[in-house]
Structure 1
Amino acid sequence: MIVYHGAYRLKQVKKQHTILFLKQNIVDWERLKKFFPLVLVTQLPFRPNEQLVDLTVIQVKDTDEAYWRFVHDYRNLFQIPVVAITGTSGKTTTKEMIRHILSADKIIAYTNSSNNSRTAHLEYLLSINDETEAAVFETAVGAPGDVLNAGKYFKPNIGIITNIGAHHLNYCKTLEGYIHAKGEMCAALEQKGVLIINADDQNSRKLDLTNYNGRILKVGIYSSCNFKACDINFCKDGMQFTVQHEQKEYPMFVPGVGEHQVYNALAAIAAAFEMGIDLPETANRLKTFQNLKKHLQVFEGINGSTVLDDTWSMTTTSLEAALKVLKEVGQGKKKVAIVGTITDLGSWGYIIHEQAGELISQIGVDVLITIGEHARIMADYAVKTGLNSQVYTFNNSILVLNLLKKIVDENTIVLIKGDMYSKPLIELAVKLRKKN
């Protein structure tokens, strides 16, 4: 039989033609029969059963060893460019930009949306086949070792670190530990290949690259780098800018507003260039990119207001980017920021929320509304550090809509900032849109 899917847990078996690596006995065969034909790889003794038609059993000495041999052997079948992307924010957008650029004339394997957990790596690896010409995968950091683990599967030859903020400190413990975890990309590249980093990002400059023997490409706006953006302008539905590369200039447009979107585009442009797509062709393809939903998505809101829905992810890095967009596109208007809690911070929760409050104070808004007990820390610290604006704090979103109906009008722009797990903020974002 031909194998199309892989699994190492029973609950991962969801389709026929799956190879299952398992170290436990299977009790309920009836549940699995609908997924036959199936291959079972096991180190346990197995008794043949005439009722188990279309089951192939491969007995091995060590299931774990067999699993990793399978992974390595399968990946080594394909000599194609593979891009791996990590970073605190911008991973999914950068991945989608690269996919969009490459898909114009290539067959691409890629991460589905932002589903980048380690349990999905095997399935993504097996999505590569004889027709695949390139692959681009998002590799998140929930804990130390995550990027290394992804590297074992994908063996990338191009790695991207979009930026490094402060996130997942519940497992990485410290910012230095988090930076080190992101720096595992060098080992994932097996100390060779091409590493693309943000030259303007303060924490990316702290990466230990002394033992990295591959090439490094730097992208940025303010620093000296290989791909530099200048003449940046906000325009309708996106950003116009010029890329300077090897003493030549190339005009670009990317859908999606914000300086951070330019950084995302620069990383995508550099990766595409490494895969043989010149900058004029990349510019032509990039302008048809569709910005992702809930990534500073612009809507007409209640009472004629403008709503920026940024309820995809929530870190201090993405909060800073969103506030800068609010300030830029909200010039001459009342600027309202609705901000939720930052998660996955562990014992750093109080400090990071204070840092978020200081960011709000520095960038400035006319009205600040926080939702959640931890988000209240932001509001308190924003006031403490000099924010002289209207500030409202709520434990939940029930009363927020009534407040907004009273204070927003056609001269108001509203940013709603949370993450994909914050159901109350997502629901509020929907209610803020003007109904057809």
Structure 2
Amino acid sequence: MKPLEVRQIRTILSGKLIHGSDETVVHHGAYRIKQIKKKHTIFFAKIDPFSIERLKDFLPLVLVTDRKLDKTMQIDGLTVIKVTDLDKAYWQFVHYYRSLFQLPVIAVTGTSGKTTTKEMIKHILSFDKKIAATISTGNSRTAHLQYLLSIDDDTEAAVFETAVGAPGDVLNASEYFKPSIGIITNIGAHHLNFCKTPEDYIKAKGEMAAALDRNGVLILNAEDENSKKIDLKNFKGQIIKVGKSSSSHYKAKDIKYKNDGMEFILVYQQKEYPIFVPGFGEHQVYNALAAIAAVHQIGIDPTEAALRLKTYRKFKKQLQVLEGLKGSTIIDDTWSITTTSLEAALQVLDEIGKGKKKIAILGTITDLGPWGYVIHKQAGEIVNNHNVDILITIGMHAKIIAEHAVECGFKSKVYSFNNSILVYNLLRKIVDKNTIILIKGDMYSQTIIDLAAKIRKIQSTKNGPSTMVKNIANNDTSQNS
């Protein structure tokens, strides 16, 4: 954070100093007590004597409040700024701090791929710029202030992941970050417990268009059907599309599965650029296209972006290929599960599982509210459209996937269990070195996480790619656009 003195902050907030010193310097910010980790924090809160006791380990500290302060709460090291309206004062501080910096800010949202796309952008830019960015999947609305304050005078660009848990989340994030470039990777069906309907979820993701001003750039997936439903009639900025279709500004062709990643040709303004992106799946190509388009907007040529992208390393448990039980191959995709990411994972299983017995182990799709039954049925339809030899589901709701896949005409073997112990016992009987297993679930599902750990054999990266990965490269599996 750029250090600020209390006298400067007090002027911004039109506040009154009622205790402490105008010369106190602020280095951090918080609006919840649990967010306070260090001294010299500015804390926006309605406070009471009990809470004051909890602050004593972090003095000196600056408190902004609209409550009357009891004399017993006036302690050494605590500076208090009294304001008329606490919420108004908080947003005055946020808007002022953001106004201090003129820099490109990229905001990424989407049902799946947003963390990967954000990490790709961060990786490409970090070669020669100081970047502020969300950490891993840390996209909670409660973290926005900390991420904003991670920008300082040395920051040259920022990239933030903006999740949708409810309508208004993207607009709320934009109040902090003021993005100049927005990306919507894709829109599936998720968080329907708060968005209520798929249409409302599309609108919530589409808030990215409203988050950008008339000079902003909106990057969209040209082939994503739900992204096409976003209302853009009032958007005055530039729209950039990425994908395989002729309408794409950044177009991918000659897509091929290669050694632990994807190769393709990027076509941009009639020029062609060979690209390799680590990580299997056509969805990874879309993530790379969005990342390249974004960094190109802030001066990174596609040739240079492609060179840097080669050294990108995806997170573990994102379609991670490992040696598994009894010499089998495991595709560990226990990062998250939505119908969008399920489709992507099954496409990878189809491609790299050719000639092998293919098993899909699926857990429950969460955050669906009353739409749980419908979305799990949709997942069953997706499974039925892929070449799975054995389907195994874990959990009561995941069983709907299996049941509906059968209703749709799924002819392969189906097993549904409520716990992973029975699944493991079954796998010990049916897997061999010619088996490939996709295990997919939510990172918060301990049952799925434990099973994945049990059936995989962690490999050292110094030993190089697995035999399975080498075979994929040798097979030169291609997808023509």
Please indicate, yes or no, whether the TM-score normalized by the shorter chain is above 0.5.
Answer: yes
User: 2:226 is matched with which residue: 203, 207, 212?
Assistant: 203
1:259 aligns with one of 275, 279, 282: 282
Q: Note if 1:146 corresponds to 2:169.
A: yes
Check the 8 A contact 2:49/2:73 in 1, yes or no: no
CA distance in 2, matches of 1:168, 1:81: 29
Other structure's SS at 1:20 match:
strand
Deviations 1:338-385 (A, max 9, x none): 000001111111111000001000113001000000000000110111
> What is the CA-CA distance between 1:307 and the residue it aligns to?
0.4
Contact persistence 1:200–1:223 (CA under 8 A): no
The structural deviation recorded for 1:187 is 1.4
Given that 1:364 and 1:387 are in contact with CA atoms closer than 8 Å, whether structure 2 keeps it comes out as no
Distance 1:261 1:292 in 2: 13
Offset, 1:26: 4.0
CA deviation map 1:140-187 (0-9, x unaligned): 000000000000000000000000001111111111100000111111
Letter of the 1:151 counterpart: S
Distance in 1 (CA, whole Å) between partners of 2:397 and 2:245 is 34
Question: 2:332 matched to 1:309?
Answer: yes
For the pair 1:38 / 2:71, whether they are aligned, the reply is: no
- 2:109 corresponds, among 86, 101, 106, to 86
1:365 and 2:388 matched: yes
Q: Does 1:284 align with 2:307?
A: yes
Aligned-pair CA distance for 1:34: 1.0
Residue 229 of structure 1: aligned partner? 252
Is residue 236 of structure 2 the alignment partner of residue 213 of structure 1? yes
Q: Which moved more, 1:217-226 or 1:145-154?
A: 217-226
SS in 1 for 2:158: strand
Within 2, Cα distance between the matches of 1:383 and 1:56?
A: 66
SS where residue 222 of structure 1 aligns? coil
Supply the distance in 2 between the matched residues of 1:53 and 1:415 (Cα, whole angstroms).
59
* Counterpart position of 1:156: 179
Alpha-carbon separation, structure 1, partners of 2:408 and 2:51: 61
Task: Note the 1:262-341 alignment, pairs <5 A.
Answer: 262-341=285-364
- Report the Cα distance in structure 2 between the residues aligned to 1:233 and 1:240, rounded to whole angstroms: 5
Is 1:174 the equivalent of 2:194? no
Structure 2 equivalent of residue 52 of structure 1: 75
- Are 1:125 and 2:185 counterparts? no
- Matched residue SS, 1:398: helix
> Across the two proteins, how many residue pairs are aligned to each other?
436
2:427 is the counterpart of 1:404: yes
Q: Map residues 181-196 of structure 1 onto 2, 5 A cutoff.
A: 181-196=204-219
Aligned residue in 2 for 1:244: 267
Contact 2:43 2:61 in 1 (8 A): yes
**1:218: how far off?**
0.3
Deviation at 1:292, TM superposition (A): 1.1
Deviation at 1:30, TM superposition (A): 3.0
Identity %: 67
1:371-382 counterparts in 2 under 5 A?
371-382=394-405
Q: 1:270 to 1:142 in 2, by over 3 A?
A: same
Query: Normalising by the residue count of structure 1, what TM-score does the alignment of the two structures yield?
Result: 0.98
Aligned partner letter, 1:299 = L
CA apart distance, 1:272: 0.6
SS in 2 for 1:363: coil
* 1:435 CA drift (Å): 6.5
In structure 1, what residue type is equivalent to 2:348? V
**Residues 352, 223 of structure 1: CA spacing in aligned structure 2 closer, same or farther, 3 A cutoff?**
farther
How far apart are 1:24 and its partner, in Å?
3.4
Question: TM-score, normalised to structure 2's length?
Answer: 0.89
List alignment gaps of at least 5 residues for structure 1. none
Check conservation: 1:191, 1:211, Cα contact below 8 A: no
Q: Does 1:11 align with 2:34?
A: yes
Following TM superposition, by how much is the alpha carbon of 1:33 offset from its aligned partner in structure 2, in angstroms?
A: 1.1
- The Cα offsets for residues 404-426 of structure 1, whole Å up to 9 and x where unpaired, read as 11111111110000011111101
User: How far apart are 1:191 and its partner, in Å?
Assistant: 4.6
Cα distance in 2 for residues equivalent to 1:283 and 1:316: 29
Give yes or no for contact 1:191–1:213 (8 Å, CA) kept in 2: yes
Alpha-carbon distance change, 15 to 269 in structure 1, aligned in 2, over 3 angstroms: same
- Which residue does the alignment assign to 2:464? none
- Native 8 Å contact 2:250 2:268 kept in 1: yes
Q: Is 84-93 or 11-20 further displaced after alignment? A: 11-20
Return the offset for 1:97.
Answer: 0.2
Residue of structure 2 in register with 1:432 after alignment: 455
Of stretches 53-62 and 200-209 in structure 1, the one that deviates more from structure 2 is 53-62
Distance 2:306 2:433 in 1: 35
Q: What is the letter of the counterpart of residue 293 of structure 2?
A: A
SS at match of 2:26: coil
Shift of 1:52: 2.2
- Aligned partner letter, 1:311: T
1:416 equivalent in alignment to 2:439: yes
Gaps in structure 2 of 5+ consecutive residues:
1-23, 460-481
Q: State which structure, 1 or 2, has the greater radius of gyration over its C-alpha atoms.
A: 2
